[in-house]
Amino acid sequence: MEKQMLIFLSGGVRSGKSSLAEQVAIRHKHPEGRLVYVACGSRTDEEMEERIAFHQERRANSGYEWKTVEQSVDISTIHAGANDSVLIDCLTTLLAGEYFRKDKPPSEAGTRIVDGVLDLVKRTSAVIAVSNELSFEVPSTNLTADYMKILGQIHQMIVKESNTAILVEHGIPIVKKGAVQCTES
Amino acid sequence: MHFVTGGSFNGKKQWVKDFYNLDVTPHQWHSFYEKEQIPFFKEDIVVLEGMERHVRILLEKAETSLEANALFKKELSSWKKEERTIVLIGTDIMKGIVPMNAFDRMWRDAAGWCFQDAAAFSERVDTIWYGIAQTIKEE
Protein backbone atom coordinates (compact mmCIF):
# COMPACT_ATOMS: atom_id res chain seq x y z
CA MET A 1 0.00 0.00 0.00
CA GLU A 2 1.23 3.49 -0.80
CA LYS A 3 2.01 5.98 1.89
CA GLN A 4 -0.91 8.08 3.03
CA MET A 5 -0.66 11.81 2.56
CA LEU A 6 -2.54 14.47 4.47
CA ILE A 7 -1.54 18.12 4.35
CA PHE A 8 -3.22 20.77 6.50
CA LEU A 9 -3.09 24.46 5.59
CA SER A 10 -4.59 27.23 7.65
CA GLY A 11 -4.54 31.01 7.51
CA GLY A 12 -6.56 34.17 7.78
CA VAL A 13 -8.98 35.54 5.20
CA ARG A 14 -7.11 36.51 2.00
CA SER A 15 -3.85 35.11 3.35
CA GLY A 16 -3.09 33.25 0.15
CA LYS A 17 -3.95 29.87 1.62
CA SER A 18 -6.15 28.63 -1.26
CA SER A 19 -3.56 29.60 -3.85
CA LEU A 20 -0.82 27.86 -1.89
CA ALA A 21 -3.02 24.80 -1.35
CA GLU A 22 -3.55 24.55 -5.13
CA GLN A 23 0.22 24.63 -5.68
CA VAL A 24 0.73 21.97 -3.02
CA ALA A 25 -1.98 19.80 -4.63
CA ILE A 26 -0.34 20.19 -8.05
CA ARG A 27 3.01 19.21 -6.56
CA HIS A 28 1.44 16.07 -5.08
CA LYS A 29 -0.44 15.20 -8.26
CA HIS A 30 -0.06 11.53 -9.16
CA PRO A 31 0.90 11.11 -12.87
CA GLU A 32 -2.17 8.94 -13.38
CA GLY A 33 -4.47 10.77 -11.00
CA ARG A 34 -6.76 13.77 -11.22
CA LEU A 35 -6.81 17.00 -9.23
CA VAL A 36 -10.13 17.09 -7.42
CA TYR A 37 -11.25 20.41 -5.95
CA VAL A 38 -13.96 20.12 -3.30
CA ALA A 39 -15.80 23.41 -2.80
CA CYS A 40 -17.56 23.24 0.58
CA GLY A 41 -19.14 26.71 0.69
CA SER A 42 -22.80 27.19 -0.17
CA ARG A 43 -23.79 29.57 -2.97
CA THR A 44 -25.65 31.96 -0.71
CA ASP A 45 -25.39 35.40 -2.30
CA GLU A 46 -23.70 37.56 -4.91
CA GLU A 47 -20.58 38.13 -2.81
CA MET A 48 -20.09 34.39 -2.45
CA GLU A 49 -20.56 33.99 -6.22
CA GLU A 50 -17.76 36.52 -6.77
CA ARG A 51 -15.44 34.70 -4.40
CA ILE A 52 -16.20 31.44 -6.16
CA ALA A 53 -15.58 32.98 -9.60
CA PHE A 54 -12.24 34.39 -8.38
CA HIS A 55 -11.06 30.94 -7.26
CA GLN A 56 -12.42 29.25 -10.40
CA GLU A 57 -10.52 31.58 -12.65
CA ARG A 58 -7.24 30.93 -10.86
CA ARG A 59 -7.67 27.16 -11.14
CA ALA A 60 -8.54 27.52 -14.83
CA ASN A 61 -5.27 29.41 -15.34
CA SER A 62 -3.16 27.00 -13.29
CA GLY A 63 -2.14 24.99 -16.34
CA TYR A 64 -3.75 21.88 -14.86
CA GLU A 65 -7.18 20.40 -15.20
CA TRP A 66 -9.27 20.40 -12.05
CA LYS A 67 -12.37 18.35 -11.41
CA THR A 68 -14.62 20.53 -9.21
CA VAL A 69 -17.09 18.99 -6.80
CA GLU A 70 -19.51 20.94 -4.61
CA GLN A 71 -19.98 19.20 -1.28
CA SER A 72 -20.88 20.90 2.00
CA VAL A 73 -21.76 17.74 3.99
CA ASP A 74 -20.70 14.06 3.97
CA ILE A 75 -17.25 14.80 2.57
CA SER A 76 -16.31 11.10 2.31
CA THR A 77 -19.05 10.42 -0.25
CA ILE A 78 -17.29 12.29 -3.09
CA HIS A 79 -16.03 10.31 -6.05
CA ALA A 80 -12.26 10.12 -5.90
CA GLY A 81 -9.93 7.39 -7.07
CA ALA A 82 -6.80 5.87 -5.52
CA ASN A 83 -4.52 8.11 -7.61
CA ASP A 84 -6.45 11.34 -7.16
CA SER A 85 -5.29 14.33 -5.13
CA VAL A 86 -8.16 15.98 -3.27
CA LEU A 87 -8.17 19.61 -2.17
CA ILE A 88 -10.82 20.38 0.46
CA ASP A 89 -11.67 24.11 0.56
CA CYS A 90 -12.40 24.51 3.39
CA LEU A 91 -12.99 22.88 6.80
CA THR A 92 -14.72 26.03 8.10
CA THR A 93 -17.46 25.94 5.46
CA LEU A 94 -17.66 22.17 5.79
CA LEU A 95 -18.30 22.64 9.50
CA ALA A 96 -21.06 25.14 8.73
CA GLY A 97 -22.67 22.52 6.48
CA GLU A 98 -22.37 19.72 9.04
CA TYR A 99 -23.26 21.93 12.02
CA PHE A 100 -26.49 23.35 10.58
CA ARG A 101 -27.81 20.29 8.74
CA LYS A 102 -31.19 19.25 10.05
CA ASP A 103 -30.88 15.45 10.00
CA LYS A 104 -27.81 14.97 12.26
CA PRO A 105 -26.77 16.40 15.67
CA PRO A 106 -24.35 19.40 15.61
CA SER A 107 -22.47 17.95 18.59
CA GLU A 108 -21.07 15.22 16.32
CA ALA A 109 -20.24 17.56 13.41
CA GLY A 110 -16.52 17.56 14.26
CA THR A 111 -16.24 13.78 14.43
CA ARG A 112 -18.16 13.40 11.17
CA ILE A 113 -15.74 15.77 9.41
CA VAL A 114 -12.54 14.23 10.81
CA ASP A 115 -13.76 10.68 10.04
CA GLY A 116 -14.74 11.77 6.52
CA VAL A 117 -11.38 13.41 5.83
CA LEU A 118 -9.43 10.42 7.18
CA ASP A 119 -11.55 8.08 5.05
CA LEU A 120 -10.57 10.11 1.97
CA VAL A 121 -6.90 10.00 3.04
CA LYS A 122 -7.08 6.20 3.08
CA ARG A 123 -8.52 5.82 -0.39
CA THR A 124 -6.82 8.60 -2.38
CA SER A 125 -3.26 9.62 -3.25
CA ALA A 126 -3.24 12.86 -1.23
CA VAL A 127 -5.63 15.08 0.69
CA ILE A 128 -4.97 18.78 1.16
CA ALA A 129 -7.28 20.29 3.78
CA VAL A 130 -7.60 24.08 3.94
CA SER A 131 -9.03 25.93 6.92
CA ASN A 132 -9.31 29.36 8.51
CA GLU A 133 -7.60 30.77 11.58
CA LEU A 134 -10.28 32.25 13.83
CA SER A 135 -9.34 31.60 17.41
CA PHE A 136 -7.87 34.78 18.89
CA GLU A 137 -11.07 36.58 19.82
CA VAL A 138 -12.60 37.60 23.10
CA PRO A 139 -15.21 34.82 23.54
CA SER A 140 -18.59 35.96 22.23
CA THR A 141 -21.98 34.24 21.99
CA ASN A 142 -22.47 30.61 22.99
CA LEU A 143 -23.11 29.55 19.40
CA THR A 144 -19.87 31.15 18.17
CA ALA A 145 -17.91 29.70 21.09
CA ASP A 146 -19.29 26.21 20.41
CA TYR A 147 -18.49 26.53 16.70
CA MET A 148 -14.94 27.69 17.49
CA LYS A 149 -14.47 24.88 19.98
CA ILE A 150 -15.46 22.24 17.43
CA LEU A 151 -13.30 23.87 14.73
CA GLY A 152 -10.34 23.92 17.15
CA GLN A 153 -10.86 20.23 17.91
CA ILE A 154 -11.04 19.40 14.20
CA HIS A 155 -7.79 21.30 13.59
CA GLN A 156 -6.01 19.53 16.45
CA MET A 157 -7.08 16.10 15.18
CA ILE A 158 -6.25 16.85 11.54
CA VAL A 159 -2.83 18.33 12.48
CA LYS A 160 -2.11 15.24 14.59
CA GLU A 161 -2.89 12.91 11.66
CA SER A 162 -1.19 15.10 9.05
CA ASN A 163 2.17 14.56 7.39
CA THR A 164 2.56 18.29 6.96
CA ALA A 165 0.85 21.25 8.65
CA ILE A 166 1.30 24.79 7.36
CA LEU A 167 0.21 28.17 8.70
CA VAL A 168 -0.09 30.73 5.88
CA GLU A 169 0.58 34.34 6.87
CA HIS A 170 0.41 37.07 4.20
CA GLY A 171 1.10 34.54 1.47
CA ILE A 172 4.12 33.13 3.31
CA PRO A 173 3.92 29.47 4.33
CA ILE A 174 5.16 28.73 7.86
CA VAL A 175 5.73 25.00 8.11
CA LYS A 176 4.71 23.87 11.60
CA LYS A 177 5.01 20.15 11.00
CA GLY A 178 6.78 18.03 8.39
CA ALA A 179 8.40 19.52 5.32
CA VAL A 180 7.43 21.00 1.97
CA GLN A 181 9.33 20.39 -1.23
CA CYS A 182 10.02 23.74 -2.88
CA THR A 183 12.41 22.99 -5.73
CA GLU A 184 11.46 21.32 -9.00
CA SER A 185 12.25 17.64 -8.91
CA MET B 1 8.04 29.74 35.65
CA HIS B 2 6.72 28.54 32.31
CA PHE B 3 4.15 30.51 30.29
CA VAL B 4 2.07 28.62 27.71
CA THR B 5 -0.21 30.57 25.40
CA GLY B 6 -2.00 30.45 22.03
CA GLY B 7 -5.52 30.80 20.66
CA SER B 8 -8.51 29.15 22.30
CA PHE B 9 -9.16 25.46 21.56
CA ASN B 10 -5.62 24.92 20.30
CA GLY B 11 -4.72 22.10 22.70
CA LYS B 12 -2.69 24.12 25.26
CA LYS B 13 -3.93 22.08 28.23
CA GLN B 14 -3.17 18.73 26.58
CA TRP B 15 0.28 19.94 25.56
CA VAL B 16 1.11 20.90 29.18
CA LYS B 17 -0.16 17.51 30.41
CA ASP B 18 2.06 15.71 27.90
CA PHE B 19 5.10 17.96 28.36
CA TYR B 20 5.17 17.52 32.16
CA ASN B 21 3.93 13.92 31.97
CA LEU B 22 1.17 14.87 34.41
CA ASP B 23 -0.65 11.53 34.14
CA VAL B 24 2.06 10.04 36.37
CA THR B 25 3.64 13.12 37.96
CA PRO B 26 2.31 14.63 41.19
CA HIS B 27 1.04 18.14 40.52
CA GLN B 28 -1.56 20.69 41.45
CA TRP B 29 -3.93 21.84 38.69
CA HIS B 30 -5.92 25.00 39.27
CA SER B 31 -8.43 26.30 36.76
CA PHE B 32 -9.54 29.92 36.98
CA TYR B 33 -12.53 28.93 34.85
CA GLU B 34 -13.80 26.92 37.82
CA LYS B 35 -12.47 28.82 40.84
CA GLU B 36 -11.58 32.51 41.12
CA GLN B 37 -9.36 32.28 44.24
CA ILE B 38 -5.64 31.63 43.81
CA PRO B 39 -4.96 28.33 45.61
CA PHE B 40 -2.39 27.61 48.33
CA PHE B 41 0.56 26.04 46.49
CA LYS B 42 1.56 22.62 47.80
CA GLU B 43 3.04 20.51 44.97
CA ASP B 44 6.36 20.81 43.10
CA ILE B 45 4.45 21.47 39.90
CA VAL B 46 1.59 23.97 39.98
CA VAL B 47 -0.44 24.62 36.84
CA LEU B 48 -2.61 27.74 36.72
CA GLU B 49 -5.05 27.47 33.83
CA GLY B 50 -7.16 30.34 32.45
CA MET B 51 -4.82 33.28 33.09
CA GLU B 52 -6.97 35.54 30.87
CA ARG B 53 -9.91 34.72 33.15
CA HIS B 54 -7.75 35.56 36.18
CA VAL B 55 -6.87 38.92 34.57
CA ARG B 56 -10.59 39.56 34.11
CA ILE B 57 -11.15 38.94 37.82
CA LEU B 58 -8.31 41.36 38.68
CA LEU B 59 -9.90 43.93 36.37
CA GLU B 60 -13.21 43.59 38.17
CA LYS B 61 -11.38 44.48 41.42
CA ALA B 62 -9.31 47.29 39.91
CA GLU B 63 -10.54 50.45 38.24
CA THR B 64 -8.41 50.37 35.11
CA SER B 65 -6.43 47.96 32.94
CA LEU B 66 -3.19 49.47 34.23
CA GLU B 67 -4.19 48.89 37.86
CA ALA B 68 -5.13 45.30 37.07
CA ASN B 69 -1.76 44.92 35.43
CA ALA B 70 -0.01 46.31 38.54
CA LEU B 71 -1.85 43.77 40.74
CA PHE B 72 -0.81 40.98 38.38
CA LYS B 73 2.85 42.03 38.43
CA LYS B 74 2.86 41.72 42.25
CA GLU B 75 1.54 38.16 41.94
CA LEU B 76 4.13 37.31 39.31
CA SER B 77 7.01 38.53 41.46
CA SER B 78 5.86 36.42 44.39
CA TRP B 79 5.40 33.34 42.15
CA LYS B 80 8.86 33.92 40.71
CA LYS B 81 10.36 33.45 44.22
CA GLU B 82 8.74 30.02 44.62
CA GLU B 83 11.05 26.99 44.53
CA ARG B 84 8.53 25.00 42.51
CA THR B 85 7.66 24.93 38.80
CA ILE B 86 4.73 27.19 38.09
CA VAL B 87 3.06 26.77 34.70
CA LEU B 88 0.76 29.55 33.53
CA ILE B 89 -1.70 28.76 30.73
CA GLY B 90 -3.39 31.73 29.09
CA THR B 91 -5.58 32.06 26.01
CA ASP B 92 -4.50 34.73 23.55
CA ILE B 93 -7.59 36.94 23.10
CA MET B 94 -5.66 39.88 21.67
CA LYS B 95 -5.85 39.27 17.93
CA GLY B 96 -9.55 39.58 17.16
CA ILE B 97 -11.60 42.56 16.08
CA VAL B 98 -12.17 45.31 18.66
CA PRO B 99 -14.98 44.18 21.01
CA MET B 100 -18.19 46.24 21.05
CA ASN B 101 -18.38 46.10 24.82
CA ALA B 102 -16.15 48.60 26.72
CA PHE B 103 -15.34 46.19 29.54
CA ASP B 104 -14.20 43.58 27.00
CA ARG B 105 -11.91 46.17 25.43
CA MET B 106 -10.40 46.90 28.86
CA TRP B 107 -10.09 43.17 29.51
CA ARG B 108 -8.26 42.69 26.24
CA ASP B 109 -5.85 45.55 27.01
CA ALA B 110 -5.20 44.21 30.50
CA ALA B 111 -4.67 40.68 29.18
CA GLY B 112 -2.18 41.97 26.59
CA TRP B 113 -0.08 43.77 29.21
CA CYS B 114 -0.32 40.94 31.72
CA PHE B 115 0.75 38.37 29.14
CA GLN B 116 3.78 40.50 28.27
CA ASP B 117 4.72 40.44 31.95
CA ALA B 118 4.01 36.72 32.26
CA ALA B 119 6.40 36.18 29.35
CA ALA B 120 9.01 38.53 30.87
CA PHE B 121 8.89 36.76 34.27
CA SER B 122 8.99 33.25 32.76
CA GLU B 123 12.16 31.37 31.89
CA ARG B 124 10.33 29.58 29.12
CA VAL B 125 7.46 30.64 26.85
CA ASP B 126 5.66 28.38 24.37
CA THR B 127 2.88 29.21 21.93
CA ILE B 128 0.64 26.30 20.94
CA TRP B 129 -0.90 25.94 17.47
CA TYR B 130 -3.23 22.94 17.27
CA GLY B 131 -1.09 20.88 19.60
CA ILE B 132 2.27 21.96 18.14
CA ALA B 133 4.51 24.09 20.35
CA GLN B 134 6.80 26.86 19.29
CA THR B 135 9.25 27.89 22.01
CA ILE B 136 9.56 31.66 21.71
CA LYS B 137 11.69 32.14 24.83
CA GLU B 138 14.08 29.82 26.69
CA GLU B 139 16.63 31.00 29.23
A183 domain-assigned: no
- The pTM of the full predicted model, rounded to 2 decimals, is 0.86
φ, ψ at A175 (rounded to 5°) = -80, 115
Nearest CA in chain B to A176: B132
d(CA B88, CA B48): 5
Total residues belonging to chain B: 139
Question: Which residues in chain A touch residue B14, judged by CB atoms under 8 angstroms apart?
Answer: 156
Bridge pairing between strands A85-89 and A126-132: parallel
Q: Residue A43 above 80 pLDDT?
A: no
- Nearest partner of A86 among A24, A152, A11, judged by Cα: A24
* Cβ distance of A177 and B132 shorter than 8 Å: yes
A101 domain-assigned: yes
pLDDT score, position A82: 96
Nearest CA in chain A to B8: A135
Q: What percent of chain A has pLDDT over 70?
A: 96
Helix (H), strand (E) counts: chain B = 4, 6
ipTM of the predicted structure?
0.80
A185 domain-assigned: no
A23 domain-assigned: yes
CATH number of the domain residue A22 falls in = 3.40.50.300
A168 domain-assigned: yes
pLDDT tens, residue by residue, B39-76 = 999 999 999 999 999 999 999 999 899 999 999 999 99
pLDDT tens, residue by residue, A135-182 = 677 777 788 888 889 999 999 999 999 999 999 988 888 999 998 776
pLDDT tens, residue by residue, B94-115 = 887 778 889 999 999 999 999 9
Q: Residue B4 above 80 pLDDT?
A: yes
Structural domains of chain B in order of their starting residue, each with its CATH number: 2-138 (3.40.50.300)
Nearest-by-Cβ selection for A156 from B94, B107, B130: B130
Omega of the bond leading into A90 within 30 degrees of 0 (cis)? yes
d(CA A124, CA B83): 53
A1 domain-assigned: no
Question: Which residues in chain B touch residue A149, judged by CB atoms under 8 angstroms apart?
Answer: 8-9
* Longest CA span, chain B: 44
Q: How far is CA A174 from CA A125, A157, A168, in A?
A: 24, 19, 6
Domain residue limits at A50: 6-177
- The highest-confidence range among A130-134, B87-91, B108-112, by mean pLDDT, is B87-91
Q: How many domains does chain A have?
A: 1
Contact B68, B21 (CB under 8 A): no
Nearest-by-Cβ selection for A159 from B14, B97, B130: B130
pLDDT score, position A1: 46
A129 domain-assigned: yes
